[in-house]
Amino acid sequence: MLSDISSLSHSHTTDTIMENVTEKMTIATEVSNVWNFLISADCFNACFPSIQMYYKDLKIGETIYFISDSPNQRTVDCAILCDLEPQKKLGYWYVKDHKTHRLKLTFELLPSLANSTLLTLKGENFIDETERCHSQNAWKAMLIAIKHFLEQNTQL
């Protein structure tokens, strides 16, 4: 079956060299289905029921909200859309709950063999190694969930 491939590249910050994170996943569905998943709050929310995605308009500079509720706390992360190339690239600056530091996340989609899609997620601008490792682990799990969701729901 299809598998994920992980790789690392380097980025320079002001004080230290911080590794970027690049995660890749081949998904057995067409690019249009993967793209629709990435931009559809309904699909995202169905795949990740503990997090609700919301936005008013999908255009550069607009904010996408990711809201999660735990028994004692509501967390609201947001993402400012900075790259939007339909069915090719989606990028945003991600801000965790009430923090000022921004991570750059970019999703790139490439057609692959047999109507599959290579989905690449790149993360940049990590504040430290702890944040980089946490993000990398979370994104691996997220890509696996997206893959399973899309391969089971082929009509998006």
Please give the tally of structural domains in the chain: 1
**Could you tell me the CATH number of the domain that includes residue 114?**
3.30.530.20
In a domain, 59, yes or no: no
Is residue 24, in this structure, part of any structural domain at all? yes
- Residues 124-131 have a mean pLDDT of 89
Range of the domain at 27: 4-47+85-152
In a domain, 80, yes or no: no
Q: Is 105 a member of any domain?
A: yes
Whether 32 is covered by a domain: the verdict is yes
pTM assigned to the model: 0.83
Residues 42-94: pLDDT tens digits?
999 999 999 999 999 999 999 999 999 888 888 899 999 999 999 999 999 99
pLDDT above 70: residue 13: no
Which residues, 6 or more positions from 99, have their beta carbon under 8 angstroms from its beta carbon? Answer: none
Q: What is the mean pLDDT of the chain?
A: 86
Percent of the chain with pLDDT over 90: 63
Q: Is residue 92 part of a domain?
A: yes
Between 35 and 98, the more confident residue is 35
